[in-house]
Amino acid sequence: MPPRTVHRLGVAAVLAATLAGPAACAVGPERATPAGAATAGSTAAPTAPAPTTSTGAPSPPPARVPRTLAFTAKTLDGTAFSGAALAGRPVVLWFWAPWCATCASQAWTVAEIAPTYRDTVPIVGVAGLGQQRAMTDFVAEFDLAGTPQLDDRAGTLWRRFKVTEQSTFVIVDRDGTVVHQGFLDGEALTRQVETLARG
């Protein structure tokens, strides 16, 4: 091997050893651990990145789920629904039946205001005391498809909230306390929802 080649190889080896030395000794924050990897002897689980909103700001921590909203159900189209998703906000549960004339008169108000307050005061229908076909026809007739409508033909939620007649509105505040249960006409319902949204 020519002397010049031997000299170059020797210089390269010295440089490699010099550069590797400090990296091998680094023990402070400069030595990064791969994301999600635990260091030797560590028992801590990797920390998930904080969720963010669409604007990039951190999302608030998940709300505590009060016992009032600790239920699951299915919507009239068969989609799974969890009451826990409503936690942290005031909620209006509307218990209705498809043959009820009073419910029909209130349906127009619900269809009108529910989209406006979807994110601040969700209104959730709880359909019972009828057949599924009649319930889905009611939803279509009064344009309620944009609002969650739960299929409670078995009466599970009606019993849970001790509802004995239709049309009944159950209003739950952001802490999970029932603050109203009973009849509301369209104007009273609108006032209640507007007040809850401001609070």
Token duo for residue 54: 């669409």
The single-letter code of the amino acid at 68 is T
Measure the CA–CA gap between 157 and 126, rounded to whole angstroms.
Answer: 8
Q: How many CB atoms lie within 10 A of CB 107?
A: 23
State the distance between the two ends of the chain, measured CA to CA, in whole angstroms.
85
The single-letter code of the amino acid at 137 is D
pLDDT digits (tens, 9 = 90+) for 61-74: 567 899 999 999 99
Q: What is the mean pLDDT of residues 148-161?
A: 96
pTM of the model: 0.69
pLDDT (0 to 100) of residue 59: 55
Q: What is the mean pLDDT of residues 23-27?
A: 34
Average pLDDT in the chain: 78
Q: Kindly tell me if the per-residue pLDDT of 88 is higher than 80.
A: yes
Read off the DSSP letter of residue 75: B
Q: Which residue has the higher pLDDT, 67 or 23?
A: 67
Confidence at 190, pLDDT banded by 50, 70, 90: very high
Q: Which residue has the higher pLDDT, 146 or 71?
A: 71
The single-letter code of the amino acid at 146 is G
pLDDT (0 to 100) of residue 199: 82
Q: Which is the CATH superfamily of the domain at 67-198?
A: Glutaredoxin (3.40.30.10)
- Bridge-based pairing of strands 178-182 and 168-172 is antiparallel
Q: Kindly tell me if the per-residue pLDDT of 60 is higher than 90.
A: no
